[in-house]
Amino acid sequence: MQIGQKKTTGQKMKKERNRGRETDRKPNISQIQKTGEHCIYAKRCGGCDYQGILYSQQLSKKQSYMRKLMEPFGKINPIIGMDDPYHYRHKVQAAFSCNKRGHIVAGVYEKHSHDIVDVEQCQIEDAQADAIIREIKNMMRSFRIRAYDEDTGYGLLRHVLVRKGYHSGQIMVVLVLVSPILPSKNNFVKALRKKFPEISTVVINVNDRKTSMVLGERNITVYGKGFIEDELCGCTFRISPTSFYQVNPQQTEKLYRKAISCAKLTGKETVIDAYCGTGTIGLIASSRAKHVIGVELNRDAIKDAISNAKRNHIHNVTFYNEDAGQFMVEMAEKGEHADVVIMDPPRTGSDEAFLSSVVRLAPNKVVYVSCGPETLARDLKYLTKHGYRMKECTPFDLFPFTKHVETVVLLSKGAKGPVDLCSARTEVERRMADSRKVKVDFSLEDMDLSEFKGKATYEQIKAYVLEKTGLKVSSLYIAQIKKKCGLDVGENFNPAKSENARQPQCTPEKEDAIMQAFRHFGII
């Protein structure tokens, strides 16, 4: 499907860049796909790591990476890929701005910068969502809506987020504005819906902060219900503007089906759905279990989970708004029982409290759904040292053209005899030391709802800042800002040998980005 970029395209792009006319480019993406050329935005956009690589080769690369990583634990199944790996993203986000020539641009931030690559059509995004964003861009002039300028702070429209239900076809448009007032909002919505009657709700999200975060805290529904619904594995789920919801619905159904079938439920089991988000996996599994307990840190996600249970008339599920690790510790201390633990943590993986409590609770099966292969391997190392065996491992390609891999692992209690809890603790400590060496790639998909109240490593803060702003910040800068806020810099941070040593000072831009991360992780 994909072959290396033709020289002619590269020459054309260079010529256009030299003319500084990127906003006038009208690429024909379907032509690019037919001829198998490389995406023309690839060099500047940087969103797809595997551009110019045949899809079958992308799958082979992911398979061999996972095989190597999982080797110590057992064999893995072939990766589950997509028949058609294009336009799978049902959540599309575009940043808006004006370029030097005064033209409105809408697209993604260039790698490590705040310049916007004006993307007309993207190979991996839903084509209708892209068309809606293009239409909004075209309508801006007649409605006198100015794109926000980060430098001057003038302008109104910062981002547009489009979410589309795969089965329902319902579309939610979120206009991220600096102020709650959209001029002629009713006419604007009317004109947009005239072109796209499938739009079922339009929400204004107010983000008036000088920040790189896309969404602000306030949502105002200007048309429809303020959320859309979609189906996954026979259940209906509500998707609100800030909810975590997997972006590739086709592959998500395969992933969830695999996770639930691994648990081999008979209707008699107590199942824990840890890191449950809006309750998706637990609610789908509930018809085959006696009782499902969902636990999730994000309050809005839990609200959605409760409403999803009602919407689907499910009564054997209980949701808790807590830290999953803390929740499991309390369950283990009370001597409570679970037959199956399904865990779907963010890319950073699980934590000491959670894993050691799983060992104490001793469920027969643990189903680990992971979007971070390295942290999965780290956590499997712990679980397999404490009585569990990997019985099955299936990688899924949820993000074609990127290097990301999603995995479902089934673990059962092995024949290793009872667990020595004292040595488990020591091992936890060793594992935590090891974990600092694991490189973790963060994705905004994970970050949407994560509120790691008060705790985040330097690496998590760095990854967060990079993902959100494209800025690289050092441990030194993070420590400087921590000090400025009167926070403990932590034992593991090595300051300069002498306080008087000349150290580079954090710039205001990076300080702002670090402060955003502190707020996100609940540190301040």
Ligand X SMILES: C[S@@+](CC[C@H](N)C(=O)[O-])C[C@H]1O[C@@H](n2cnc3c(N)ncnc32)[C@H](O)[C@@H]1O
Q: What is the dihedral of CA 148, 149, 155, 159, to 10 degrees?
A: 0
* 3-state DSSP assignment of residue 42: helix
Considering the complex, state which of residue 148 and residue 275 has its C-beta at the smaller distance from ligand X: 275
The answer to whether 375 and 347 are in contact (CB under 8 A) is yes
Distance in Å, CB of 446 to ligand X, minimum = 6
Shorter beta-carbon distance to ligand X: residue 125 or 446:
446
- For ligand X, the closer CB: 249 or 346: 346
Q: How many angstroms from the chain centroid is the CA of residue 78?
A: 24
The answer to whether 118 is annotated as binding is: no
Q: Which lies closer to ligand X via its Cβ, residue 67 or residue 311?
A: 311
133-163: b (≥16 Cβ within 10 Å) or e: beebbeebeebebebbeeeeeebbbbbbbbb
Contact 198, 228 (CB under 8 A): no
Residue 22 CB, nearest distance to ligand X (Å)?
35
Q: State both tokens at 378.
A: 């780290």
Q: Return d(Cα 469, Cα 320) in angstroms, integer.
A: 32
Q: Which residue is nearest to ligand X (CB)?
A: 277
At 18, the amino acid letter reads N
Looking at the Cβ atoms of 94 and 283, the one nearer to ligand X is 283
Alpha carbon distance 387, 415 (integer Å): 7
User: Which residue number, 192 or 247, has a Cβ lying nearer to ligand X?
Assistant: 247
Catalytic pick from 39, 235, 371, 393? 371
Look up residue 406 and give its two tokens: 């999603």
39 to 47, 220, 397, 443: CA distances (angstroms): 11, 36, 20, 21
User: Which residue from 507, 520, 463 is spatially nearest to 481, judged by alpha carbons?
Assistant: 507
With beta carbons less than 8 A apart as the criterion, state whether 150 and 211 touch.
no
**What minimum distance in Å lies between the beta carbon of 292 and ligand X?**
12
344 known ligand binder = yes
Residue closer to ligand X, measured from CB, 165 or 345: 345
Q: Taking the complex as a whole, how short is the minimal distance between the CB of residue 468 and ligand X, in angstroms?
A: 16
Check: CB of residue 88 under 8 Å from CB of residue 250.
Answer: yes
351 is in an annotated binding site: no
CB atoms within 10 A of CB 468: 20
Query: What length is written for the chain?
Result: 524
**Single-letter residue type at 504:** P
CB of 450 to ligand X, least distance (A): 4
Q: Rounded to whole angstroms, how far apart are CA atoms 269 and 292?
A: 8
Q: Is 275 annotated as a binding residue?
A: yes
- Quick check: helix, strand or coil at residue 501? coil
Cα distance between residue 376 and residue 409, in whole Å: 9
Q: How far is the CB of 491 from ligand X (least distance, A)?
A: 22
Question: Would you state the structure tokens that stand for residue 402, as one six-digit string?
Answer: 């990127």
For ligand X, the closer of residues 97 and 280 by Cβ is 280
**φ and ψ at 186, to 5 degrees?**
-65, -40
Beta bridge pairs of residue 293: 272, 318
Taking the CA atoms of 65, 108, 89 and 223 in sequence, report the sign of the dihedral they define: positive
Q: Is residue 371 annotated as part of the catalytic site, yes or no?
A: yes
Strand-strand pairing, 235-239 and 270-274: unpaired
CB of 294 to ligand X, least distance (A): 9
The encoded tokens of residue 108 equal 């993604």
We find the least distance from the C-beta atom of residue 199 to ligand X, in angstroms, to be 24
Residues at the site binding ligand X, with contacts judged by CB under 6 A: 244, 246, 275-278, 280-281, 295-298, 301, 323-324, 344-346, 371, 446, 449-450, 452
The binding site consists of 246, 275, 296, 344
Give the catalytic positions in this structure: 371
Binding residues for S-adenosyl-L-methionine: 246, 275, 296, 344
